[in-house]
Every structure is written in C-alpha cells, then in structure tokens.
Amino acid sequence: MSAATRITVRGDSPYDVVVGTGVLAELPTLFRPGVSTVAVIHPETLPEISRPVCEAIAAAGHEVVALPVPDGEQAKTVEVAARLWSELGRHGVTRSDAVVGVGGGATTDLAGFVAGTWLRGVQVVLVPTTLLAMVDAAVGGKNGIDTPEGKNLVGTFLPPAGVLCELSTLDGMPPDDYRAGLAEVIKGGFIADPEILRLIEADPEGATRPGGPHTRELIERKIRVKADVVGADLREAGLREILNYGHTLAHAIERDEHYRIRHGEAVAIGMVYAAELSRLAGRADLVARTRSVLTSVGLPVSYRADAWPRLRDHMRLDKKNRGAKQRFVVLDGLAEPGRLEGPPEELLEAAYKEISA
C-alpha cells in the first residue's frame, strides 16, 4: 500500500482525484453525505475489478446495485443508457444517492452521462481502471455517448464528486492497451508539461509498463495538467480546447475505423497531423520530436493515404468548429498551444500527405 496522492480539481464544484496503490478503502469518503444506494456501472467482462469496489462500498454501509454493461465503445449508446435509466428507477435511486463508474474511459464516460441525466443529475464517483481513463477520460466532468454520426456528440458537463485511481488495476492491462494510453500522457507533455516528455525519452521501455520507474509520476503529472485546465474552464469555453490537441483527426480516424482502433493510437496519429499543421502554418516545428517520442513507445504516426476524403468529411462535425469554420489546436511552441481557425483546404490536405502511408 502506498500513501495516496490527492490532486484537487478546482472550479465551481471542486473534487479530489485520489491516486495510489491499495487505496480502494478511500472510495466511500468521496461520496457526499446522505448516500444510501450506490449503483455501480462496470464492464460485464471485468467482475474481478468491480467486485472489490462493490465490497468497499458495502463495507461503508451503503446498499450496492451492480449494473454490468458491454465492453468499450459498445457501451456508449442510447440503448445502453436507456436500460441503465430503467435500472436506476427500478432500484429507487434518488437524487441523494450515487452512481459509481468502474472501468476504462468508455465506461466512465457512460456512467457520467447516465448520472448527469438521471433526475437531472445525481453525484457520480469514477474509478478508472486503465491508463487512458486515469489520465484523461475520468477527470474533467465531460461525459458523452456516441451516435452513428460521430463520437461523444451527445453529452453533459457534470464534475464527479471524486475520482479514485487504484494503480494496481493497471497491472493486468494488455500491453498494447497500456501503450495506447501513453498517447494522452505524451499529449500533456506537448501542451503543458515538457517534463513528461523528458521522462519518457529518458526511458521509453520503462514508460510502456505499469511498474516502470516513473509510472506514478507520469500519471500524476498528466492528471495535474488536466486538473489545471478543467478547473479554469469546465465547459470548454476557451482554455479547455487545448486538451483536444490531436483529437480532430483522431476522432475522424476512430469513426473511419468504426471504433475498432484504440483511442490512444488515433490520438498519436492525430498529434503528428497537428504538428505538421503547426509547421506548415508557420507556427512551431515539433514534428521530429513528436514522431520520435511516439515511435519510441510503439505508437503509430501515419494513416492510410486513400482515407483523406472520408476523414475530411468526418472532421467537419468536430465539436470545436464554429459554424462552417474549422478550428484546430496547434502549437506555437513547446507547451504553448494555440488555435488555427479556418485553414485553407490545401493546407489541411498537405499536412495529411505528410502523415499518409
């Protein structure tokens, strides 16, 4: 057991992100007073992870209702959400009760969305069990589900009552999934905290496994990056847009792949594209470093040459767009994110040619 680190996400509804090993007993302390029933939403394929969570909640005197959902992105549908609403009603979950989301980013997204829409909002506590969910999806209060037209197009802003990152859950992650989660960590290095990049570049092999010498520091640094941003801008009115660095193309690739590609792999490709856009637009030239750090941990840096027309259509539905004007997060320098608004089509296509395989 390690001492827990508490990282506070500030703002109108502040909350703590608890990070450590052997910290599940702290989960009930994250509930606000008055909770009776707790609905635990978890992937149906991960009972060994959800069971100790349910036991910790029950040991604190709460009634626990376990609600299994499909794995991954298949859970983020209106149909699954509707079934969960029915279950919450059937079990009498009231506005003073709580929802807990246990699992990867898709599950925590779904749990936050269901909690934010049930009775116009009940408290949610998130227990991310993957690297991607710990450093990104579970922190920030943005929750969403998918539609046939795109990813996360229907959603809510609901800050959780707390987030608990039990680091031991990472030990059983498939190596490719863990590696994909590093893309979001690396993104934090480029937009805000270059020390993240230095740690990974000094020991790429160590960065690709949960028990690496800098695992906890990398996770905590990336959580702090996100906490600082979302604490200042919950609803993506301005500053929070920088967290979408690399995501405009990434979300288009995910849709092109029918969500069969890992989110982090798509983000890695998207960051190379954003770096190329930055360079071609006369901003910062961080292409070589972007390619180097991503390839050093085994992440992809290119995509199919023939996909551009489809990707371009998907990108027109990006959430950062304003009317017909496309908006991209680019870099004006290391840890200096900026915006590129309404770039010409030839610039967008030229950047894609640089990353096409």
Average per-residue pLDDT in the chain? 93
Taking residues 82-104, what's their average pLDDT? 97
129 is in an annotated binding site: yes
58 is in an annotated binding site: no
107 is in an annotated binding site: yes
Q: What percent of the chain has pLDDT over 90?
A: 83
- Is pLDDT larger for residue 227 or for residue 322? 227
Cβ density class 33-57: b for 16+ within 10 Å, e for less: eebebbbbbbbeebeebbebbbebb
| 116-to-73, 125, 153, 277 alpha-carbon distances in Å | 19, 12, 15, 36
Catalytic residue among 179, 187, 224, 240: 240
**Nearest CA to 115 among 90, 142, 137, 79?**
142
pLDDT confidence bin for 1, thresholds 50/70/90: low
**Catalytic residue check, 263:** yes
pLDDT 10s digits, 136-160: 989 988 899 988 887 788 999 899 9
263 is in an annotated binding site: yes
pLDDT 10s digits, 121-141: 999 999 999 999 999 989 988
**Catalytic residue check, 216:** no
pLDDT 10s digits, 189-201: 999 999 999 999 9
Check pLDDT > 90 for residue 12.
no
74 is in an annotated binding site: yes
**Catalytic residue check, 48:** no
130 is in an annotated binding site: yes
Catalytic residue among 42, 179, 255, 263: 263
Catalytic residue among 62, 222, 244, 254: 244
**Catalytic residue check, 341:** no
**Nearest CA to 132 among 251, 27, 244, 262?**
262
pLDDT at 345: 95
**Catalytic residue check, 240:** yes
- Is pLDDT larger for residue 230 or for residue 218? 218
- Map out the domains of the chain with their CATH numbers: 5-172 (3.40.50.1970), 175-355 (1.20.1090.10)
- Tell me which amino acid residue 243 is: L
62 is in an annotated binding site: no
Catalytic residue among 222, 224, 247, 262: 247
pTM for this structure? 0.92
